Amino acid sequence: MPKAIVMQHVEGKPGKVYYPLQLKDVPLPTPGPNDLLITIHSAALNHRDFFLRQSLYPSPSFDVPLLADGHGVVTSVGSSASKSWLHKRVILTPGRGWRDSPDGPEAPTGYSILGGTKTIKLGTLQEVICVHEDEVEEAPGHLSNAEAAALPLTGLTGWRAFVTKSGNAEKGRNILITGIGGGVALNVLQFVVAMGANGYVTSGTQDKIEKAKKMGAKGGVSYKTEGWEKELKKMLPKDRPFVDAIIDGAGGDVVAKAVRLLKPGGVVVQYGMTVSPKMDWSMNAVLKNLELRGSTMGSRKEFKDMVAFINEKKIKPIVSRTVKGIDNLKDIDGLFEDIRNGSQFGKLVIELVSEESGGKSWKTPRGAFQLVPDSLTRRHPSNTITSWIPAPHSQASATKGHTYRWQAAGREMIHTKTVHKGRDGSGFVGRFFLSSLIFLDSRIFSASFHPALKREPLSVSAPRIFIFSLKPQALSLPADNVQIKHICQYPIKTLDTKYKLQHRYSADRFWDSPSEINFLIFVSVWTLLALAYLIIAPMKFPQFAHKYAILGVEAVTMIFWFAGFIALADLLGDAQCGSRAGRRSGVCRSSIAGCVFAAFEW
């Protein structure tokens, strides 16, 4: 069953108690007609999650998974939902009850945020979640999994506070953002800079101020310094020596300080009160016609607009730290401590991967599927491990630019016809390798990408399939009771350049598949030109038929033929290496010998 993290109930007073985290099994949800089944790849913390564990947030639940921010891949769609969502990377809307009103939530019960409360029984700190198709947006392609998870709640909150509420989302305006380092404040700074306004920040540490300057802030001061508002006023441009708006999430004495900075009629937008649940509103603020505007979260329309802006401007949310594994409770607890200590600069993200021991077996309408982590994650933690549930029709997808390692528990998967699904089957290279896999059928065996995995036996009862592809693929596996034991992805550039992981039959990979195909085309063209020269030149142009020139062309042609044979063998060996040849030798040990042996056998 999929896993989730919830709070465990213990006795204690609000503010004094601290609920422990608990890992539990949850049922695999069944999508409704308009629902999407999503495998969560990453989830991010917010301040509210820390308050929940302190019983300082309304309606805590000990059955609902924590966290509101999530990113994942759609693995199944309901009967009436758009099929275009299938296999897409998505981010979830973090709340419910607010569609498009500029004033506030339309729902009579108000706005409900995902994660850890009784108001809505959804949270993103779980391996699988089921939501309505209207409650997701496609993840911007320039964002990593962690960055995508870091965006939803803080991005939405910051967007509404600055763009909708401040009335100063314009070029040249002076905007003060307090408490830089938190997710909302950093998102606001990114929006301010992207729109051409002047951002100024406050923080308790100089290090965070310097980081904010590198992000585009015009200046910053420490709020721990007495009279910081006077210091900040000196930094303002001479032609606009005042602040147009303050975006604040701390509360406390910000209004008392702001009176000296804000222009007459200036605005304070308050999106939170992490320092104090109340603040003073002085007579000086009244006489200066200042406005205090509350702002919380945002509507579904604002969420859509925010994601579109992120996509257009290629903004990347700041991730302070990540931990890997839903079962890694100790390190996840450490993220909450970062919030307690205020040490983070950006969002704190959990990347969900399969547990180390035993894998998981999830029942789907088509059979049982099992996912087991790959030992490469321990050696190269920056590699991305993707774990997800195949769709009810047993469809699994591969992502452009990644290599996937598959292992079937029986021969059923290999005998199953492999098909392409729409645009996911595009690309000559992808079609070549998939057709090779179909042609070779159950004789497909392969060595591993890493010497540490070569100790695993290669047997008929557990054949391995490797797909090395630079194009998106989609595999249809309609057989019942097929077990997929390994689904791991490695960035191809990482394989080739960063870690130099061993290719399945080569100590080093000198070219990739498109290069091989291009080279074979070049060799063919060269051969035709060389033949034309050797036949025509002696008869028609004897002055160009010098014996050394002829010998040179013949020598170069032979070299190209030899290299072309190696490239062809490399292509064929990708699918075949490790079959009968591989089983006899354990692994294919050299680029030339292994490729040639496999190619001759094929």
Which pLDDT does position 572 carry in this prediction?
Answer: 62
> Do residues 149 and 160 touch, judged by C-beta distance below 8 A?
no
Provide the token pair at 437.
């896999």
Please give the angle made by the CA atoms of 332, 488 and 354, to the nearest 5 degrees. Answer: 35
Give residue-wise pLDDT tens across range 292-344: 999 999 999 999 999 999 999 999 999 999 999 999 999 999 999 999 998 89
CATH numeric code, 155-294: 3.40.50.720
Task: Tell me how crowded residue 546 is: count the other CB atoms within 10 A of its CB.
Answer: 11
Could you tell me what percent of the chain has a pLDDT over 70?
67
CATH number 1.10.287.70 is the correct assignment for the domain at 3-151+319-348: no
3-state SS track over 304-370: HHHHHHHHHHCCCCCEEEEEECCCCHHHHHHHHHHHHHCCCCCEEEEECCCCCCCCEEEEECCEEEE
C-alpha to C-alpha distance for 299 and 111, rounded to whole angstroms: 9
Residue spans of the domains in the chain: they are 3-151+319-348, 155-294, 360-498, 513-601
CA distances from 552 to 136, 530, 545, 558 (A): 63, 10, 11, 10
> Do residues 546 and 577 touch, judged by C-beta distance below 8 A?
no
Give residue-wise pLDDT tens across range 564-589: 777 776 666 544 443 434 433 333 33
Identify the CA nearest to 159 among candidates 149, 150, 169: 169
Identify the CA nearest to 236 among candidates 225, 250, 221: 221
pLDDT at 416 over 70: no
CA distances from 586 to 213, 437, 450, 496 (A): 56, 20, 14, 23
Rounded mean pLDDT of 340-364?
66
Asked if domains 3-151+319-348 and 155-294 share a fold, the reply is no
Stretch among 144-153, 258-267, 332-341, 454-463 having the lowest mean pLDDT? 454-463
Its pTM stands at 0.63
Identify the CA nearest to 388 among candidates 46, 181, 86, 64: 86
Identify the CA nearest to 90 among candidates 111, 64, 72: 72
Give residue-wise pLDDT tens across range 160-217: 999 999 999 999 999 999 999 999 999 999 999 999 999 999 998 999 999 999 999 9
Which pLDDT does position 573 carry in this prediction?
Answer: 54
Local confidence band at 542 (pLDDT 50, 70, 90 cut-offs): confident
How many residues in total does the chain contain?
Answer: 602
C-alpha to C-alpha distance for 197 and 216, rounded to whole angstroms: 10
374 compared with 4, residue with greater pLDDT: 4
Which pLDDT does position 585 carry in this prediction?
Answer: 39
Strands 198-203 and 219-222: what pairing? parallel
